[in-house]
Amino acid sequence: VTCITLMTDFGNRDDSAGCCRGVIVGRAPDARLVDITHEIPPFDIRRGALTWINVLPYMPVGIHVGVVDPGVGTARRPIAVRTRRGDVLVGPDNGLLPAAAAALGGVSDAVELADERFMLQPRSNTFHGRDIFAPMAAALATGTPLGDLGPALDPATLVTLALPRPRWDGEALHCAVVYVDNFGNLRLNAGEDVVADWHLHEGDAVGVTLGGHRLSVPFARSFGMVPEGTAALIVDAYWHLMLAINRGHAAATYGVGIDAPVVLRRTGDGAKDAE
């Protein structure tokens, strides 16, 4: 059974997610429909891409519809991209798809979603999730070949998205908060390779500068390895670093949010070991 997943910035309150679900279950009654989330912040293409990068590797190979689409109804192209893993990503050509495809082996081929036979009629200018992306996904799920949906695109022409990268300044790692999760944990764009580079072991101190605060926090395997109310630097479930407070809310405590710069430094005895 083919799986169709949905990720949007529509919110759970509006009519939009329900309309997309309706189009899909009506046109692809045998497909399995799975919501990823509809709470991507409005217009936040980067957050959509990062969510897909985190979630899609855990989804079965399938058809993944992503709608974070501030350019709906303009010249931006509706597209579908096949990944080397075998998925098809469906959505607007605004950078959302290639970033996620990279997490699924990369883009193998792409098409512009142009064939009006697979769109709803009449078609609105403001809701292509319902009128183009959902019915195209249903067409794919019911056996329509990708190439029938429109002309092939050169993947090199797809709009790409610059994801923020950390940088080294001497022995300091300059990174940034890329997400504040439901628990207030500060998710950083620093990868777990720092843990090996710095020979970090449970309890080793790391210097953290953020939001005007200069902290020394222990590296810890998980939240509960430090006392309640205590901060720790932890490898998150996507193998990046996060700053968390056990049973607390780090973002509120430190008064920082997405895009806040964070500087990490190896401190204490471990700093010498690592040299």
Encoded amino acid at 269, one letter? D
Instruction: Give bridge partners of residue 179 from the DSSP assignment.
Output: 187
> Using the rule CB under 8 A, is 222 a contact of a copy of itself?
yes
Which region among 57-65, 78-86, 99-107, 260-268 touches a copy of itself (by CB under 8 A)? 57-65
Binding mask 7-26 for a copy of itself (x = CB under 8 A): x-xxxxxxxxxxx-xxx-xx
Round to whole Å and give the CA distance between 138 and 61.
15
> Using the rule CB under 8 A, is 103 a contact of a copy of itself?
no
Residue 53, φ and ψ in degrees, nearest 5: -60, -40
Minimum Å gap between C-beta 168 and a copy of itself is 25
Cα 27 to Cα 112, 131, 238, distances in angstroms? 21, 12, 35
Which region among 29-37, 111-119, 166-174, 206-214 touches a copy of itself (by CB under 8 A)? 29-37
Minimum Å gap between C-beta 164 and a copy of itself is 17
| Residue 236 token pair | 């998150």
Q: Which residues are within 8 A (CB) of 182 and not within 5 positions of it... i.e. 6 or more apart?
A: none
Minimum Å gap between C-beta 34 and a copy of itself is 5
Minimum Å gap between C-beta 24 and a copy of itself is 9
**Helix-, strand-, coil-residue percentages of the chain, each rounded to 5:** 30, 30, 40
> Using the rule CB under 8 A, is 201 a contact of a copy of itself?
no
Q: Pinpoint the alpha helices (H) of 63-105.
A: 96-102
Please, which residue, 23 or 153, has the CB nearer to a copy of itself?
23
How many CB atoms are closer than 10 A to CB 191?
Answer: 17
Helices (H) and strands (E) in the chain, counts: 8, 15
> Using the rule CB under 8 A, is 58 a contact of a copy of itself?
yes
Are 97 and 66 in contact by the 8 Å Cβ rule? The answer is yes
Minimum Å gap between C-beta 272 and a copy of itself is 27
Round to whole Å and give the CA distance between 93 and 17.
20
> Using the rule CB under 8 A, is 224 a contact of a copy of itself?
yes
Residues 160-199 that bind a copy of itself (CB under 8 A): 181-184
> Using the rule CB under 8 A, is 257 a contact of a copy of itself?
no
Please, which residue, 72 or 206, has the CB nearer to a copy of itself?
72
Round to whole Å and give the CA distance between 185 and 83.
31
Q: Which residues bind a copy of itself (CB under 8 A)?
A: 1, 3, 5, 7, 9-19, 21-23, 25-26, 29, 32-39, 42-43, 51, 54-56, 58-60, 70-74, 76, 124-127, 130-131, 181-184, 221-225, 234-239, 246-247
